[in-house]
Structures are given as C-alpha cells and as structure tokens.
C-alpha cells in the first residue's frame, strides 16, 4: 500500500548550464510542493502504514530547511556562494545543482535516512520510501526513486556533502539532528506527536 504526504516550501536558486538563460544566469524562486510516498505491505497498531502525524517532526523539518532560503551548488562560482551566504542566513549547499530532479534525489536520501534511523514504536513494519515527487511549478515535476538517488551518473550525492546554515539547524527541534542522521543514530519516533 502507498501513502502520500505533501509538503511545501519557497526557495531560490540558480540552475547553472541549463538551456534556459533566465534559469541558468539569474537567481529566481519557486513555490515547491514535495510529495513523500511511503509504502508497506503491513499496517501498524493504528491500522496505518505510517502515521501522518509522525512526518511532522523530522521529515517536515528537513524539507522545511529549504523554505525561505537559497539553495547553492557547491561547484558554483566561489564568490557567488560566499556572497549568498553573507546576505542570507537561511541556505543549504548541495553537491549537485538545485534542479527539481536533484531536489528529488536529495530529499529522497534525507527522508530515507530519517526512516532508517527512526525507532518505530507502534508496530510499523517494513515502511519504505517509494519515491519523492518535487513540483517546481504547477505544470512540471520530477519524481525520484531509490535507483535515481544512488545513480552516480546523475551526480554523486553523499549526505556528508550537504551543508545547512547555522540558522537552519538552530530551528530544528533537535539541534543535533544532522549529526545523528550522519552517524546513523536511532531517533525516537514518539507515539503521540
């Protein structure tokens, strides 16, 4: 069975080397919609695949890190990166260009790691991430699956290479969340949120 949770964020970026000059040479923003699709062949004690309320904590917080910020590509011009970090307190730096396709891959890896580190406490079984859909506009989206997230031919993404600004990290309910996820430390999945 598949379940879907929708998240939203506003973000600015430049997608270097794309065909459209407006996108490749100018900072611009989008109202993103992100669909997280989870699957399991089992239901928990509440007769659910995974309680939607549980997604409001770490999954939502990680997706929300992109909200009202700028996403930077670590291989972009160093002067540009430095300037953006000086003039914006909310930024995320990625090892890949921030296209909708790459957002779907990055967010897939983030959500997958949260699920892998979560101590399931209500009989959840074999909850897997099916895919991530990132709507960049009303008419265009990218859908990323596990094979896409790990496809080095699309650009290598190591979670250790993703950098969140200090303001972003300070807004998480657990300021050590990123450290825990990188260390693959279990995080409690409370029954009541």
Residues known to be catalytic:
23, 68, 136
The length of the chain in residues reads 193
Residue 49 CA to residue 119 CA, distance in Å, equals 15
Strands 91-94 and 163-164: antiparallel
Quick one: how far is CA 67 from the chain centroid?
11
44, 67 contact by CB (below 8 A): no
Quick one: how far is CA 39 from the chain centroid?
18
SS3 93: strand
């Amino acid at each position: 069975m598949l379940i879907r949770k929708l998240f939203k964020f506003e973000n600015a970026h430049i997608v270097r080397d794309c065909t459209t000059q407006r996108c490749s040479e100018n900072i611009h923003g989008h109202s993103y919609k992100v669909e997280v699709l989870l699957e399991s062949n089992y239901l928990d004690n509440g007769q659910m695949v995974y309680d939607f309320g549980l997604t409001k904590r770490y999954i939502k917080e990680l997706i929300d890190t992109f909200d009202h910020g700028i996403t930077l590509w670590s291989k972009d011009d160093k002067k540009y990166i430095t300037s953006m970090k000086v003039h914006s307190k909310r930024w995320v730096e990625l090892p890949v260009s921030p296209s909708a396709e790459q957002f779907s891959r990055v967010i897939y890896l983030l959500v997958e790691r949260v699920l892998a580190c979560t101590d399931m406490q209500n009989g959840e079984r074999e909850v897997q991430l099916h895919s991530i859909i990132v709507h960049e506009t009303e008419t265009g989206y990218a859908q990323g699956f596990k094979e896409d997230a790990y496809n080095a031919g699309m650009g290598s993404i190591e979670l250790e290479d993703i950098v969140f600004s200090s303001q972003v990290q300070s807004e998480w309910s657990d300021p050590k969340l990123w450290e825990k996820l990188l260390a693959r430390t279990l995080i409690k999945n409370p029954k009541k949120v």
